[in-house]
Structure 1
Amino acid sequence: MAYADRCGSEFRLPLADARAVRFEDVAPVRAFKSYKGQRHLPGLWWSATVGGHIGYESWLERDHVMLLDFDPSVVGISSQPFWLFWLFWQSEAVKGISHAPDYFARREDGTAVVVDCRPADRRRPRDMAKFEATRAACTRVGWEFRLVGNPDAIVVRNVRWLAGYRHPRYRLEPVVCELLAAFAEPRPLMDGASSVGDEITVLPVLFHLLWTHELAVDVSVPLHAAALASAGVAGGC
């Protein structure tokens, strides 16, 4: 396998040595290209988890890096983190194959997950062979591998809304502590926000706390004024 550090230096190493590398801190092994007539829409996602930008090559990848960013167990994320290389026999000849997964994520407990994004209806046999080889490589290293397609539309809409308030600038004191106290017991979103003060001031802080999981709400159903929120598992005053 091969990877590049943030200074642009490239490294190759056996798969067995991959466990010791902090792939959450590496640079992408290939560029995110943009050109006229392009079918996919690449871009950069500002990640609250890493405090910087992470590249994506499609809106599907953008949605999944957003969900990784929202996951409270994830503490590091990188895109196009490494190349995997392997050989196989084809028509009595050896052919070299390579693949760069879409994302690498490090969890708080030190475990890791490698993610490839591809809609179910666009998984050709050639692609599936690469994904299965990547899964096998991850298993050997002790990483989880996920091949993901289109995520739940309601979850994506809810998290995308909360993502608009992911930046720390929305963390305003003493509103944070007042909201945490207001939602010590489950209550409707707007009811709790109104009890703290002017909604124009309070709601951005409330949405930020939902993003950071200091307040919890069910994102599997559409967010609305009467949605119940309560104290989460993260943070506190």
Structure 2
Amino acid sequence: MTALRALPGGAAGPVGDGFEVGFITDDGVERRALLTEAWAVPFEQCRPVRRFPSYKGQKHHSGRWWSATAGGHVGFESWLERDHLMLLDFDPRVVAVSSQPFWLFWTTPQGKTRSHAPDYFARRGDGSAVVVDCRPTDRIKPKDAAAFDATRAACDLVGWNYQLVGATDAIRSANVRWLAGYRHPRHQVEPVAAALRRAFAAPAPLMAGAEAVGDPIAVLPVLFHLLWCHDLNADLSTPLHPGTVVSAVVS
């Protein structure tokens, strides 16, 4: 292991390429390498390095989210992680996402080896990468802060964006959670989708535009799917309602 430099919170980062990562490839092969040698690994395709247990009396809710972006299930270990995974799935810049993508290993100035598995690794369409940890601010203990600082330093070393995120915006999350109910491609129904794009070519109230196309019972699921896919646009900072102004996205 190479020489270390001190980081905020008592963590340590390498002067050279001292960070190591352990990961499991998409075909189940376990590997470990220096981060600077493995940075080009498609971690968005790697298997989780930890399991997502579910047992009676556990404090956190674990589960799997069906990701429209990934086309499969992605694990989470809390409602907070689920909400941020949902927002990554909704983000049009993200083209792939994985959970618990790798173990990061480093050595503290005291000579102790530490490890941390970030919550998510997301790949954007421009090729850039985002590493995400989810933890409410009031629940970050000094040892956790040191791990997050080390992870940020590791990401900086290889040009990844690092995000330590807490509680989500309640209204936006509620809106996206509603739209997520229509994220599956089965709601991309033609010619209804094309008719909705025409109906909202000029901004119009959500329900009025749906009724102009046909029976809202049949039309609204398609409309919500188009909002999820960003083919239609609406202000999600306020609760969705019949009068929400919707507009078509101009390519």
TM over 0.5: yes
User: Which amino acid in the other structure matches residue 205 of structure 2?
Assistant: P
Greater mean alpha carbon deviation, residues 110-119 or residues 17-26? 17-26
Shift of 1:8: 1.7
Task: Establish whether residue 175 from structure 1 lines up as the match of residue 192 from structure 2.
Answer: yes
1:118 corresponds to? 135
Q: 1:111 to 1:196 in 2, by over 3 A?
A: same
Amino acid aligned to 1:34: S
Residue in structure 1 matched with residue 218 of structure 2 by the alignment: 201
Q: Give 1:218's aligned residue.
A: 235
Structure 2 equivalent of residue 25 of structure 1:
45
Looking at structure 2, the residues matched to 17 and 142 of structure 1 have their Cα atoms a distance apart, in angstroms, of: 13
CA contact (8 A) 1:86 1:96 kept: yes
Tell me, in whole angstroms, the C-alpha distance in 1 between the residues paired with 2:245 and 2:123. 31
Letter in 1 for 2:89: D
Please identify, of 205-214 and 225-234, the stretch whose mean Cα deviation from structure 2 is larger.
225-234
Change (3 A) 1:55 1:223: same
Equivalent position to 2:103, from 73, 76, 83 = 83
Cα shift at 1:6: 2.3
Provide TM-score, normalisation by structure 1.
0.96
Cα distance in 2, alignment partners of residues 188 and 50 from structure 1: 32
SS in 2 for 1:106: strand
The whole-number CA distance in structure 2 between the counterparts of 1:232 and 1:125 is 45
Residue 181 (structure 2) pairs with residue 151 (structure 1): no
One-letter amino acid of the counterpart of residue 7, structure 1: D
% identical aligned pairs: 64
Partner Cα distance (1:21, 1:6) in 2: 11
Instruction: Give the secondary structure class of the aligned counterpart of 2:112.
Output: strand
Aligned to 1:103: 120
One-letter amino acid of the counterpart of residue 171, structure 2 = I
**TM-score, with length taken from structure 2:** 0.91
Q: Distance in 2 between matches of 1:127 and 1:233?
A: 44
Deviation for aligned residue 1:72:
0.4
Q: Are 1:74 and 2:91 an aligned pair?
A: no
Q: For 1:81-133, what per-residue CA distance to the aligned partner results, in whole angstroms no more than 9, with x for missing partners?
A: 0000001133xxx2110000000000000001000000111001110000000
SS at match of 1:62: helix
**Which of 213, 219, 228 pairs up with 2:245?**
228
1:50 counterpart residue number: 70
The runs of 4+ residues in structure 1 deviating greater than 3 Å are none
Q: Which amino acid aligns with 2:118?
A: P
Residue 233 of structure 1: how far off its partner (Å): 5.1
Alignment partner, residue 189 of structure 1 = 206
Counterpart of 2:69 in structure 1: which amino acid?
A: T
Structure 2 segments unaligned to the other structure (5+ residues): 1-20
Larger mean Cα displacement after TM superposition, 15-24 or 63-72: 15-24
Amino acid at match of 1:41: H
Structure 1 residues without counterparts, runs of 5 or longer? none
Verify: 1:35 aligned to 2:52, yes or no: no
Paired letter, 2:56: K
The residue type paired with residue 247 of structure 2 is S
